[in-house]
């Protein structure tokens, strides 16, 4: 099962749910935004925290005060900007120590997991748990987070010399390879946006690489509050995805609900049914080491 995480969900209290899913072999790969994986999970893995603000800060009328105090706001959540800059610097350190070549986001995030394995401050980290369970994490827009500042600083310092770069094409290729090698896949999508489309598109990419009809995702569940009428990617239905040959409509379900309500209920139900007990970790990351063109 491929888990898709859109927006900024981890600071909303869903991180422990995702960690438990990975820990209990309920997730085989993750496609996410950088906000979830780096600015929130990796950031907390370094020992830092997000703080819930009082209601009077939600309107934005006191953001000037926050700026003077170097406090960054995400709706009702606060982050210490000085700590976030330490997170930026830590990602730069990881980039500096990587082989100077193009890397997929999966390769870089695996090294972030290795860093937390040595230096992390909490066991409840998605990046760390995926590293330990060999679950690949893909962030298609990887520069759009704290790691983006890290790679900009790394490349600026290297000048005209060899340097690390992020290869988004390699991201797409690697995830497509998983589809080709594993065939049977399903999606559990929290939100929409780039992670949703990226994970769906691998069916079409697999057809292009193999000149054969690749099996659609066997099932798909999307939890969203986006309104179908706005015509956006986050609100496009799974039946619409079927017209592209991405999702089988036999087992698809749109769940129009706030994620922090629906996700614990759905995952809790699946957990207590106990099917995960018979599952072994797929270790999909190992399939990508030295993957060859099909």
Task: State the DSSP H helix or E strand holding residue 3, giving kind and residue range, or none if neither.
Answer: strand 2-5
Bridge-based pairing of strands 2-5 and 186-190 is parallel
Q: From CA 260, how far away is CA 267, in angstroms rounded? A: 11
Contact 93, 112 (CB under 8 A): no
Q: From CA 248, how far away is CA 57, in angstroms rounded? A: 44
Contact 287, 106 (CB under 8 A): no
Q: From CA 220, how far away is CA 250, in angstroms rounded? A: 9
Answer yes or no: is 257 within a domain: yes
Answer yes or no: is 293 within a domain: no
Is the per-residue pLDDT at 63 higher than 50?
A: yes
Mapped to the 3 state alphabet, what secondary structure does 122-165 carry? CCCCHHHHHHHHCCCEECCCCCCCHHHHHHHHHHHHHCCCCCCE
What is the reported pTM?
0.89
Q: From CA 165, how far away is CA 160, in angstroms rounded? A: 13
Contact 10, 19 (CB under 8 A): no
- The CATH number of the domain holding residue 167 is 3.40.910.10
> What separation in angstroms does the CA of 164 have from each of 62, 94, 116?
39, 10, 20
Contact 49, 159 (CB under 8 A): no
Q: Is-catalytic flag, 246?
A: yes
Answer yes or no: is 59 within a domain: no
Mapped to the 3 state alphabet, what secondary structure does 202-215 carry? HHHHHHHHHCCCCC
Is the per-residue pLDDT at 41 higher than 90?
A: yes
Answer yes or no: is 118 within a domain: yes
Its domain, for residue 145, covers: 2-49+70-288
Mean pLDDT, the chain, whole residue set: 87
Question: Based on the structure, what is the number of domains in the chain?
Answer: 1
Is the per-residue pLDDT at 9 higher than 50?
A: yes
Contact 73, 57 (CB under 8 A): yes
Answer yes or no: is 263 within a domain: yes
Q: Mind listing the pLDDT tens digit for each residue in 94-128?
A: 999 999 999 999 999 999 999 999 999 999 999 99
Answer yes or no: is 63 within a domain: no
For residue 157, the Cα-to-chain-centroid distance in whole angstroms is 28
Q: Mind listing the pLDDT tens digit for each residue in 236-293?
A: 665 565 665 556 566 678 788 888 899 999 999 999 999 899 888 888 888 887 544 4
Answer yes or no: is 62 within a domain: no
Contact 246, 200 (CB under 8 A): yes
Q: State whether the Cα torsion 70-120-105-247 is positive or negative.
A: negative
Question: Looking at 15, 92, 133, 246, which residue is catalytic?
Answer: 246
Answer yes or no: is 56 within a domain: no
Instruction: Answer left, alpha or beta for residue 204, where phi above 0 means left and psi between -120 and 50 means alpha.
Output: alpha
């Amino acid at each position: 099962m491929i888990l898709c995480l859109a927006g900024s969900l981890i600071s909303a209290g869903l991180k422990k749910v995702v960690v438990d899913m990975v820990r209990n072999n309920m997730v085989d790969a993750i496609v996410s935004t950088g906000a979830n994986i780096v600015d929130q999970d990796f950031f907390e893995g370094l020992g830092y925290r997000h703080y819930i603000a009082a209601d009077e800060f939600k309107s934005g009328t006191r953001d000037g005060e926050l700026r003077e105090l170097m406090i960054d706001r995400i709706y009702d959540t606060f982050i210490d900007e000085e700590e976030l800059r330490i997170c930026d610097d830590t990602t730069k350190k990881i980039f500096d120590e990587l082989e100077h070549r193009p890397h997929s986001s999966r390769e870089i995030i695996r090294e972030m997991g290795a860093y937390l394995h040595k230096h992390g401050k909490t066991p409840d980290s998605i990046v760390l748990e995926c590293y330990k369970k060999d679950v690949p994490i893909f962030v298609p827009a990887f520069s759009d987070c704290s790691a983006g500042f890290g790679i900009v600083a790394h490349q600026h310092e290297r000048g005209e010399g060899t340097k690390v770069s992020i290869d988004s094409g390699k991201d797409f290729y690697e995830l497509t390879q998983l589809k080709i090698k594993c065939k049977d896949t399903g999606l559990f999508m929290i939100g929409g946006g780039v992670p949703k489309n990226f994970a769906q598109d691998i069916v079409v990419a697999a057809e292009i690489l193999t000149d054969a009809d690749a099996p659609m995702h066997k099932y798909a569940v999307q939890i969203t509050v986006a309104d179908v009428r706005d015509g956006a990617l986050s609100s496009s239905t799974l039946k619409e995805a079927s017209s592209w040959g991405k999702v089988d409509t036999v087992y698809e379900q749109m769940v129009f609900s706030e994620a922090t309500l629906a996700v614990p209920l759905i995952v809790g139900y699946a957990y207590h049914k106990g099917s995960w007990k018979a599952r072994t970790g797929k270790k999909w990351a190992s399939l990508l080491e030295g993957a060859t063109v099909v």
